[in-house]
Amino acid sequence: MNFKNVHIYVADSLRWDYLPDTISELGVTFKTVAQSNFSAPSFATLGTGLYPVQHQVHNWGDVLAPDTPTIFELDGLHTGYRDHAEGTEATVFRILKQDEAVDLSDLKPPFLHVERNSYPHVPFGKNAPDTVQEYYNDRGNDWQQMRRDYKCGIKQSVNRFQKRLDYLEDSGLLEDTLIVFTSDHGELFGEYGTKGHGSPTCPELVYVPTVFINPQLQEEDFQINPQSEIIEHVDLVQTMLSSIGYGNALTTSGVDLFSRDRMRDWGYNHINIVRKGRKFYTAESAWDYNGGHVFAQNKTFYRFIYAISQFRDAPARENLVANPTKLIRYYIKNTELFGSPTHSESKSKENIDTFTDQLSREEGYAHGLSENEKERLKNLGYLT
Ligand SMILES: [Zn+2]
C-alpha cells in the first residue's frame, strides 16, 4: 500500500475491550500487544519502532540517546507531534525529542503527524477534576462510576478524532493519508485489586486496539488475520513508514504488515518500574491473541513492597484494603498465566530469551526529572 501522509492518533489508556464500534468500523482493527504498560516507554516505542529493552526508556526520567533516530527525523517529510495530556506532556515531548506542539493542520504533505489525546486517561475527559489525586479522592472508591467516567472520556476522545478525519476530508487529504488510531496501554478498574496502569502486567493493560483507516484499505491488504493474530506497536511503526516510502529510513523491530507476515505468533511486553535506583516491578511477558505468560524478573521483596505502597495510596484505599490478598498475590507470583495462549509457560520463556538475545540495544540514559515534573507526575499518581 502506498500513501503520502500518516496521522497517528493515540487515545491514551484505551484498552482493547473498550474500543467503540464507531471507530472499529472505520477501518481494519487489530488486537495489539502494547510494548509496555504506561506512557513513557510506550511512546518511546511509537517514536522509534524499538522495544523498551532497546530504546531504554523505562521510566519518566529516561530519555532516548541523542543518536537514537525517531520517526520525526526523516528527510523530506514534514513531521510534528501534538499532546493534549495535562501534566505529562512536557515529559513526552522530551522523550520524543520534540520542542513544540504541531497541529495536524500545520503540516503540508508529505507529512507524518502524531497526536496524543488523554481524555481516556484519569481523570477522564475535559470537564473532569483538575488532578488525578482530586479525581480519586472524589470517586476513587466507586469502580462503576470510574468505568462510566472512562467511557465518557473515550467518547470525548473519539469526537476529537472525528474532527481530524473531517479536517483531512475537507482538505482533500483523506485519500492520500493512512490514519492510525491506537493506544499506548490499557487501564484497570479494580481487576487484581487495583486501578490505573503500569502494573501488574495483565491483559487489561497489555492489549490495546489499532485501527488502520483509509477509504481504499481492506482487510485483504494485510498479511495477517485480524480475527486470530496480534500485532505489536513496533509493527504499527514499520507499517506506516513503509506505506509512505520510508520503510528503510529507520531501523525498527517491526514488520510491514502490508507486505510481510509477522515472524512470531506472539508479542513482547516489558515493564521496569524503578524508584530511587531500585527495581520495584520488572516483568516481561509473551502474548498471542488468546492470552499470555508473565514472568516477573526483579526480587519478590521489592514487588511486595510495591504492592504494599499501593495501600498507602489514599484514593482507592478502601477498595484495596477490601481486597488485599488479591493485589499482593499478583505482585509476588513469579509467573502468571492469563487466558489460553498457544505456547506453554516453558516454551514462552524460551521464546522470550531467544528473541531478546537477538535484539540490538541502544544507549539510553536517565535524564532525571525537575522538581516541577516530579510534582506533576505525583499528581497523576505515577510516583509514590
Ligand atoms: Zn499513557
Query: How remote is the CA of residue 40 from the centroid of ligand 1, in Å?
Result: 7
Among 16-20, 82-86, 188-192, 193-197, which is the least confidently predicted range? 82-86
Query: How remote is the CA of residue 13 from the centroid of ligand 1, in Å?
Result: 5
Query: How remote is the CA of residue 216 from the centroid of ligand 1, in Å?
Result: 30
pLDDT computed for residue 319 by the predictor:
60
Query: How remote is the CA of residue 39 from the centroid of ligand 1, in Å?
Result: 3
pLDDT computed for residue 143 by the predictor:
84
Query: How remote is the CA of residue 12 from the centroid of ligand 1, in Å?
Result: 5
Rounded to the nearest angstrom, the gap between the alpha carbon of residue 181 and the centroid of all alpha carbons in its chain is 12
Cα–Cα distance for residue pair 60/383, rounded to 1 Å: 9
- Please work out, in degrees rounded to the nearest 5, the angle formed at the alpha carbon of residue 238 by the alpha carbons of 121 and 19: 30
In a domain, 210, yes or no: yes
Cα–Cα distance for residue pair 27/49, rounded to 1 Å: 22
Query: How remote is the CA of residue 38 from the centroid of ligand 1, in Å?
Result: 5
Q: Is the pLDDT of residue 8 over 70?
A: yes
Q: Among residues 164, 64, 156, 150, which one has the least CA distance to residue 114?
A: 164
* More confidently predicted of 274 and 382: 274
Contact criterion met (CB below 8 Å) for 210 and 37:
no
pLDDT computed for residue 363 by the predictor:
57
Is the peptide bond preceding residue 341 cis, with omega within 30 degrees of 0? Answer: no
Structure confidence by residue, pLDDT tens digits, 201-241: 999 999 999 999 999 999 999 999 999 999 999 999 999 99
Query: How remote is the CA of residue 344 from the centroid of ligand 1, in Å?
Result: 30
Q: Among residues 123, 195, 119, 116, which one has the least CA distance to residue 154?
A: 119
Q: Which CATH number goes with the domain that contains 266? A: 3.40.720.10
Query: How remote is the CA of residue 36 from the centroid of ligand 1, in Å?
Result: 10
pLDDT computed for residue 366 by the predictor:
58
In a domain, 333, yes or no: yes
Rounded to the nearest angstrom, the gap between the alpha carbon of residue 177 and the centroid of all alpha carbons in its chain is 22
Domain region containing 254: 5-379
In a domain, 384, yes or no: no
Query: How remote is the CA of residue 211 from the centroid of ligand 1, in Å?
Result: 18
Q: Is the pLDDT of residue 311 over 80?
A: no
Q: Is the pLDDT of residue 373 over 60?
A: yes
Residue 79 pairs in a beta bridge with 112
Query: How remote is the CA of residue 347 from the centroid of ligand 1, in Å?
Result: 31
pLDDT computed for residue 69 by the predictor:
94
* 321: confidence class by pLDDT, cuts 50, 70, 90: low
Query: How remote is the CA of residue 7 from the centroid of ligand 1, in Å?
Result: 18
In a domain, 368, yes or no: yes
Q: Is the pLDDT of residue 156 over 90?
A: yes
Residue 208, C-alpha cell as written in the block:
490495546
Structure confidence by residue, pLDDT tens digits, 272-286: 999 888 999 999 999
Residue 352, C-alpha cell as written in the block:
522470550
Mean pLDDT (the chain) is: 91
Query: How remote is the CA of residue 35 from the centroid of ligand 1, in Å?
Result: 12
Query: How remote is the CA of residue 295 from the centroid of ligand 1, in Å?
Result: 22
Pairing between β-strand 78-83 and β-strand 111-117 as defined by DSSP bridges: parallel
pLDDT computed for residue 133 by the predictor:
77
pLDDT computed for residue 41 by the predictor:
97
Tell me if the pTM is above 0.85: yes
Residue 134, C-alpha cell as written in the block:
482530586
pLDDT computed for residue 192 by the predictor:
87
pLDDT computed for residue 359 by the predictor:
87
Measured between alpha carbons, how far is residue 64 from residues 44, 95, 97, 124, 289 in Å? 8, 6, 8, 29, 30
Structure confidence by residue, pLDDT tens digits, 13-38: 999 999 999 999 999 999 999 999 99
Q: Is the pLDDT of residue 176 over 90?
A: yes
- In the numeric block, the cell 513469579 is attached to 334
Neighbours of ion ligand 1 (CB under 5 A): 12, 39, 184
Query: How remote is the CA of residue 117 from the centroid of ligand 1, in Å?
Result: 9
In a domain, 133, yes or no: yes
Query: How remote is the CA of residue 14 from the centroid of ligand 1, in Å?
Result: 9
* 327: confidence class by pLDDT, cuts 50, 70, 90: confident
Cα–Cα distance for residue pair 199/298, rounded to 1 Å: 13
- DSSP three-state, residue 270: strand
* More confidently predicted of 85 and 53: 53
Residue 84, C-alpha cell as written in the block:
493534549
H or E, element range at 308: helix 300-312
**Residue 138, phi then psi, degrees to nearest 5:** -80, -45
Query: How remote is the CA of residue 1 from the centroid of ligand 1, in Å?
Result: 29
Task: Tell me how many domains the chain contains.
Answer: 1
| Helices assigned H by DSSP within 189-263 | 203-206, 233-243
Query: How remote is the CA of residue 43 from the centroid of ligand 1, in Å?
Result: 8
Burial environment of residue 75 by CB neighbours within 10 A (0 to 12, 13 to 18, 19 or more) = exposed
pLDDT computed for residue 86 by the predictor:
61
Q: Is the pLDDT of residue 98 over 70?
A: yes
Residue 179, C-alpha cell as written in the block:
490514519
pLDDT computed for residue 136 by the predictor:
79
DSSP state of 382: -
Contact criterion met (CB below 8 Å) for 378 and 132:
no
Residue 275 pairs in a beta bridge with 278
Q: Is the pLDDT of residue 315 over 60?
A: no
